[in-house]
Amino acid sequence: MDWTSLQQRLLHWWQQSVSWLQRIDWGPWQQRLRQGFRAAGNNFQQSWSLLQPKLRQGLQRSERLLQRVWEPIRQRLPQGLPAWWPGPEPPLAARRIVDAWHSGECWVAVVCFGFIAGILILDVLGREFLGPFLRLIGLEPGATGIFTSQKLSIFALVIGSFAGIGIATATGAHIVPGFASGWVPPEWKPIYDRAADLLTGLFLLGVTWFGLKFVGSSFKTDLRAPVLDWPVWPIQLAIPLGFLSAAGRYFVYAAWPALKPAPPEFQE
């Protein structure tokens, strides 16, 4: 069958199936289904309007009860930050340091991810296209892929990802489960956020310590990467450094919340 007759036949089938579909009277079906949806919607609305006042009453009652228990405790708690705590506005030097720090990390990550893309593209193109092509024209090129490209990419991924922890912190890109966000009264939020940042910083500092211990043990045992035979501790060092960078940032945010990026509208 030639191309034109195939084209004509396909076009004919297409037109036939469209006209067949158009012959069916969908109107009554559509109407019946719409009626069904409408009836279900009305039923739901009626039951909801009966249930709603009761739910609201219950909620108001429990809110009152909670307030009665909570209010005396709240009055006894400190109402603000101590005087020695840095104010919300950061000094210019702090802002400059944070910006320079961020830009350094961005470059490290860009170089690493660019390297991954470049080396893997060259490896696959060399192996799957250049090699077969050279063999086709009668040459024997040997190995046309890049030796240990995947291992080198994994190393770049580790460095790039852990530089990325700092970038994600600086741009508010970390995934933060949001469903517990309403557990704290809104008037507490400024103090609460700073305390949370301080805690995150301390926690990540602890993780950095254990990371350094892990790197230290690799250094002592002279652990080497298979095939490449490189010592792995310089690459592993990216892990505690990434955590340290994030910890440092959270300390800065606890001190000067104005430097903290606004949380993103959404996180996929």
Partner 1 sequence: MKALALVAAVAASLALRQPLLVILLAAAGCVNLFWGRGNLEDIIEDVWVGLDKEVILSIPLFILCGSVMTRGSIAQRLIRILAAVTKPLPGGLAVATILSCAVFAAISGSSIVTMLAIGSIMYPAMRQAGYDNKFSLGAVMSGGTLGIIIPPSIPMIIYGLVTETSVTDLFAAGFGPGILLTLALSAYSVWFNWGMRTAAFDLGEFWLAFKHGIWAALMPVILLGGIYSGYFTATEAAAVALAYALAVEIFIHKELKPGDFYNVVLETSKLGGSLFPLIAVALSLNIILIEHRVPQSLVDFMQGYISSPLMFMILVNILLLIVGCLMTTGEAILVLAPLLAPLAESYGYNKVLFGLIMILNLEIGYLTPPVGLNLIVAMGAFKQSFGLLCKAAVPFILIMLVCLVIVIWQPWIAMYFVTGKF
Residues 6+ apart with CB under 8 A from 146: 119, 122, 123, 126
Please tell me the distance from the alpha carbon of residue 177 to that of residue 197, in angstroms, as a whole number: 15
Going by the DSSP 8-state scheme, the letter that residue 142 receives in this structure is -
Binds partner 1 by CB under 8 A, chosen from 90, 98, 116, 146: 116
Q: Which is nearer to partner 1, 98 or 168 (CB)?
A: 168
Binds partner 1 by CB under 8 A, chosen from 51, 55, 139, 176: 176
Binds partner 1 by CB under 8 A, chosen from 90, 162, 256, 260: 162
Q: Determine contact, residues 156/115, Cβ cutoff 8 Å.
A: yes
- Number of chain positions touching partner 1 (CB under 8 A): 71
* Positions 20 through 49 that interact with partner 1 (CB under 8 A): 21-22, 26-27, 30
Binds partner 1 by CB under 8 A, chosen from 147, 174, 190, 228: 174
Please tell me the distance from the alpha carbon of residue 78 to that of residue 67, in angstroms, as a whole number: 18
Site track for partner 1 across 199-228, x = CB under 8 A: xx--xx--x--xx-xx--x-----------
Alpha carbon separation from 83 to 80, 86, 87, 209, 255 (Å, rounded): 9, 8, 9, 31, 13
* Positions 74 through 93 that interact with partner 1 (CB under 8 A): none
3-state secondary structure 238-262: HHHHHHHHHHHHHHHHHHCHHHCCC
Residue 231's beta-bridge partner residues?
A: 224
Q: How far is the CB of 266 from partner 1 (least distance, A)?
A: 5
Site track for partner 1 across 183-202, x = CB under 8 A: xx-------xx-xx--xx--
Please tell me the distance from the alpha carbon of residue 102 to that of residue 259, in angstroms, as a whole number: 12
Q: Is 110 in the site for partner 1 (CB under 8 A)?
A: yes
Going by the DSSP 8-state scheme, the letter that residue 224 receives in this structure is B
Q: Which is nearer to partner 1, 26 or 48 (CB)?
A: 26
Q: Is 267 in the site for partner 1 (CB under 8 A)?
A: yes
From 42-50, 57-65, 91-99, 119-127, give the range in contact with partner 1 by CB under 8 A.
119-127
Start-end of H helices in 126-148? 131-136
From 17-25, 82-90, 136-144, 251-259, give the range in contact with partner 1 by CB under 8 A.
17-25
Q: How far is the CB of 33 from partner 1 (least distance, A)?
A: 9
Going by the DSSP 8-state scheme, the letter that residue 231 receives in this structure is B
